Amino acid sequence: MEELKRKALELGIELNEKQLSQFQKYYEMLIEKNKVMNLTAITEWNEVVDKHFIDSISLVKAVDLSGEASLLDLGCGAGFPGIPLKIVFPNLKIVLLDSLNKRILFLKEVIEELQLEQIEALHGRAEDYAKKPEYREQFDYCVSRAVANLTTLSEYCLPYVKEGGSFISYKSGKVQEELKEIKKAMFLLGGKVEDVISFTLPETEIERDFVCIKKEKKTPKKYPRKAGMPSKEPLK
């Protein structure tokens, strides 16, 4: 656990014994469940620490998470970044959303086992929950580690963000190319690219970018479009 503790400290995060224990338990549950369903291709402890745990909580490089805030993790998969963020910042009110019910059932087990509060895991499509008033434009932050085009992700995520809040995309690689194609989407969805934060994860050669998109005005109700459209025909 010293490795996790040390690398978190390099991000300015001091983990206590309870948090370290929660990370350990989460790892054990992840590996056990991974034997019967495909949650992650990354299973070695050191790699999980770097590519899942530290990567998830490195969001602190983009935003101050010390106060009370609401956060939606869209396409949360096996719980990244939402579960690590909740462990480290219990003050956050978090919703995990994923389209695969098996993953959500696993995450509900994790939430119960780790005794996490003010966090819920929802099964459903981004397009559907974005139409519900209790979720639409209700979050300070929407985050996603999903592997999808930035334009597509913005259409899925910005409808959840309240005015003045931010959608933050975990990206790596050709982010500058994607940024060139996002202008029309920003105009239509009510967002503005505020910052791109590039860095290397502690003690690794893993490069990470955070694209921070500010919600400047309400997203028109027709967005996101019906299932599949944002990815098939990105706004350009």
Residue-wise pLDDT for 36-47, tens only, equals 999 999 999 999
Quick: pLDDT tens for 200-216. Answer: 999 999 999 999 999 99
Instruction: Say which DSSP state 160 is in.
Output: G
Per-residue buried b or exposed e for 45-68, using 16+ beta carbons within 10 Å of the residue's own CB = eeebbbbbbbbbbbbbebbebeee
Band of the pLDDT at 236, cuts 50, 70, 90?
confident
Enter the pTM of the model.
Answer: 0.96
The pLDDT of residue 25 is 98
| Closest of 100, 59, 54, 58 to residue 76, by C-alpha | 100
From CA 202, how far away is CA 145, in angstroms rounded? Answer: 18
**Within 10 Å of residue 105's Cβ, how many Cβ atoms?**
13
Residue 90: is the preceding peptide bond cis (ω within 30°)? no
Task: State the average pLDDT over residues 69-94.
Answer: 98
**Within 10 Å of residue 171's Cβ, how many Cβ atoms?**
21
